[in-house]
Amino acid sequence: MKKSIKKILFFALSFLVGSVFLYSSYTKAFPIQLFEYTLVEFLHLPWLLAAVGARLFVGMEAGLGCLLLVSLFGANKWVLKVALALLSIFSIYIIYLWVRFGGEVNCGCFGDKVLLSPAASLGKNMALIAAVLVLLRYAEGLRFRRDYLVVSAISIAGLVLPFILFVVPLQQSKLSGRPPYVSDIAPLFKLSSNAVPDLRKGKHVVAFFHQGCPHCRLAAYKLHLMHQSNPALPLFMVIGGLQSDLTDFWKVTKANDVPYTRLDKDDFLNITHGIFPLILLIDNGEIAGSEDYNDLGQQFLEDWVAGKQVK
């Protein structure tokens, strides 16, 4: 009887740890771009490496979470050992963020669903590490004939699925032409503000965002990182809609370092036709092309601005 109670308790503990892993994977995956951009900002990874790394971490967490959920530990409890290693890596990353950026930074452990300080996140990881060590030392886990096939299938599926569900952007931008719905950008030439560049002269990357649009916020965050890497890039944001406070927009995107202006609702919709984020490449007042923020590459923009041959 006592042995049965122990099995139930260990199963419950494994289920709890697996649930945390799964939730962590889910919050990082939706949207996965936020996790990518976090890796670019804090670890200064190249864009492509950050995209691949984000999917690998999400896949590992998802696979481990599913296996722990049903107490499938694999041969020699390798699932628990990998979980322990992953938690250790995340903990080192959190300590780095804490030392480098202070105690208020969001570590991104649960994406933007639950904002955790480094201290809270490290405490959460320590509790998970303790739970995994208990399971590693005392729990037997679920065993059955050819269970290794199930463990292998779940592990492979976990690693592969993120790359299928979220195709890695190759950052191979190209001049894709003027969007058919953009007929007139003349309202931009009438704007009078010190922040507004003369769009009729030179090359400019002009991004149209609505402050409440989740994809616009991701795109603005990406422009912030590009501007941070190369302040000489001629980036400019046009934020449309009601003249409401932008405090929350800046808090999420950190993009208040990028020059911007506000545009009234009618002019904003006349240009975008309600399709945003919209990123236009403007060359001497003419639209040279439009870009999707997921595929927009910094090297492409730098080459285009410099007048190098781009396709």
Model confidence pLDDT, tens digit, residues 21-79: 999 999 999 999 999 999 999 999 999 999 999 999 999 999 999 999 999 999 999 99
d(CA 80, CA 42): 28
The helix-helix angle for 118-138 and 2-29 (nearest 10°) equals 140
Same domain, 125 and 247: no
Give the global pTM: 0.90
Same domain, 155 and 11: yes
Answer whether 223's CB lies under 8 Å from 231's CB: no
Strand arrangement, sheet containing 278-283: 260-263, 235-240, 203-210, 278-283, 286-291
Q: Which of 197, 262, 263 is nearest to 233 (CA)?
A: 197
Q: What is the DSSP letter of 75?
A: G
Same domain, 34 and 148: yes
Query: How much is the pLDDT for 242?
Result: 67
Q: How many domains does the chain have?
A: 2
Same domain, 148 and 245: no
Query: How much is the pLDDT for 244?
Result: 72
Domain range for residue 121?
A: 2-165
Average pLDDT, the chain: 91
Amino acid letter, 214: P
Q: Which of 255, 225, 252 is nearest to 41 (CA)?
A: 225
Give tens-digit pLDDT for 223-246.
999 999 999 999 999 998 766 789
**Mean pLDDT value across residues 144-151:** 93
Q: Phi and psi dihedrals of 83, rounded to 5?
A: -60, -40
Same domain, 277 and 225: yes
d(CA 139, CA 155): 20
- pLDDT, greater one: 176 or 20: 20
Tokens matching residue 35: 């996790």
